[in-house]
Amino acid sequence: MKFTINREEFLKGLNIASRAVANKVAVAVLANLKIELDERGLFITGSNYDLTIRTFIPYKSEAKEIMRNYKEGATLINGRIITEIVRKMDAEEVTLDVIDSTIAVISDTHFESRLNCVKPEEYPDIDLEPTGTEIKLTKDAFSSIVSQTAFAASIKEQRPILTAMNLEADSGSLVATTTDSARMARKVLKIAENIRFVANVPAKMMVEVDRLMEGTAAVSVSLSDKKALFTLDRTIIATRLVAGDYPNTKNIIPRSCNYFLEVNASELAKAIDRTTILSIDRENVVDLSMSEFGVEISAKSSQVGSAVEKLETYKFEGQSLKISFNSEFVLSAIRALNCEDVTFEFVGEMKPFVVRNASDDSVIQIVTPVRTY
């Protein structure tokens, strides 16, 4: 195999595929990228079994030549090393020439590097064909799902199912739900009536796909029993689904509430951020006190002291109420709503409460209070 390629295009492809290559791999061959050249163009594949990314570079793009002097073939090269080499090369074009299936020569007009390479037959056979139910989402729709829910998934592996984003399509709606058992985020999108599926996709993989969608108008998502496949313009991302039944979160949302607070999102976020400084020994816990006399955010530390901030702009309905919560959970919920004013709905002191945008009922955030006595 041999080709001369535009360095920026090659580096972009290497960077994309390398996102699937783990720093530590149980199977040595997966430290490599699979680089294949055929009559269609260049394919670069990286995988750690749980995640596989294959990206494509054509010979030409909009009449612009990307590759020349090519000979078809395939090889496996250490992903981290080849990416770093190409990143640090200065030339506009880079040549890769595989000699006797064992040495890959990477060069430009004044630099040459020889890397050991592996025969492509040693790479595992990975199925990247779309199967199962398929749904197409615009970039904006997909990004809204990720930005408004993914953060609430667990990052701990003790309960793997909580690291997933539960996607459920039925009756013309796609519902995305995440929870780490202390909070929940849910987003609802309108879709075609005849699409039905349930899948637990790793939330971090949804974030990864969203990052790779830059410059892409839409993504096609194929969901089967064991995998999710995301097809972009030139890139395919495949991930294993998380096995198990997702927790029943439908009854978490309160059916009726006794207290309502509407506040300016920016003012509240700044107040929480300032008072959290004083909650050193309470793990970012702050108190929200509400009554007819005013609304206050406060925090205290036996080691440092205390802080109180009164909110200037608010609307409160109900009797006096004091709630303690993890400040990062509420700040994340506010950021996800991305609106000028946020509405809080409370049932009581120790009941999960709702954070929502009053003008957008497609997304809802639930936070569980913290017991401080």
Residue bearing the bigger pLDDT, 142 or 157: 142
If you compute the radius of gyration of the chain from its CA atoms, what whole number of angstroms results? 25
pLDDT reported for residue 231: 97
Tell me if residue 178 falls in helix, strand or coil: strand
Q: State residue 215's pLDDT score.
A: 85
pLDDT score recorded for residue 21: 93
- 259-367 adopts what CATH topology? DNA Polymerase III; Chain A, domain 2 (3.10.150)
Region of poorest pLDDT, from 3-12, 180-189, 279-288, 297-306:
279-288
Q: How many residues does the chain have?
A: 373
pLDDT at 92: 96
Q: Which of 306, 351, 364 is nearest to 325 (CA)?
A: 351
Q: Which two tokens stand for residue 60?
A: 């030409």
- What is the CATH number that goes with domain 134-240? 3.10.150.10
Q: Which residues neighbour 199 within 8 Å (Cβ) at sequence distance 6 or greater?
A: 166, 167, 168, 223, 228, 241
Q: How confident is the model at residue 76 (pLDDT cuts 50, 70, 90)?
A: very high
Question: How far, in Å, CA of 370 to CA of 285, rounded?
Answer: 7
Rounded mean pLDDT, 205-217: 93
Smallest CA-to-CA distance from 162 within 144, 183, 134 is with: 183
**Domain 2-122: top CATH class:** alpha beta
**For residue 49, is pLDDT > 90?**
no
At 305 the pLDDT is: 86
| Confidence class for position 180, pLDDT limits 50, 70, 90 | very high
pLDDT at 371: 85
Q: Where are the alpha helices (DSSP H) in 54-119?
A: 79-88
Of 4, 32, 226, 238, nearest to 118 by C-alpha is 32
> What DSSP string describes 85-139?
HHHH--SSEEEEEEETTTEEEEE-SS-EEEEEEE-GGGS--------SEEEEEEH
| pLDDT of res. 373 | 61
105 contacts 112 by C-beta, under 8 angstroms: yes
pLDDT at 74: 97
Mean pLDDT, rounded, for 243-252: 92
Q: Is 259-367 in the same CATH topology as 2-122?
A: yes
Higher per-residue pLDDT: 335 or 157: 335
- Predicted local distance difference test score (pLDDT) of residue 214: 87
Mean pLDDT of the chain: 94
Task: Please state the domain extents for the chain.
Answer: 2-122, 134-240, 259-367
- Poorest-confidence range of 108-112, 303-307, 350-354? 303-307
Express each pLDDT in 359-371 by its tens digit.
999 999 999 999 8
- The pLDDT assigned to 281 comes to 62
Nearest to 86, CA basis, from 184, 4, 162, 1: 4
Tell whether the model's pLDDT for residue 320 goes beyond 70: yes
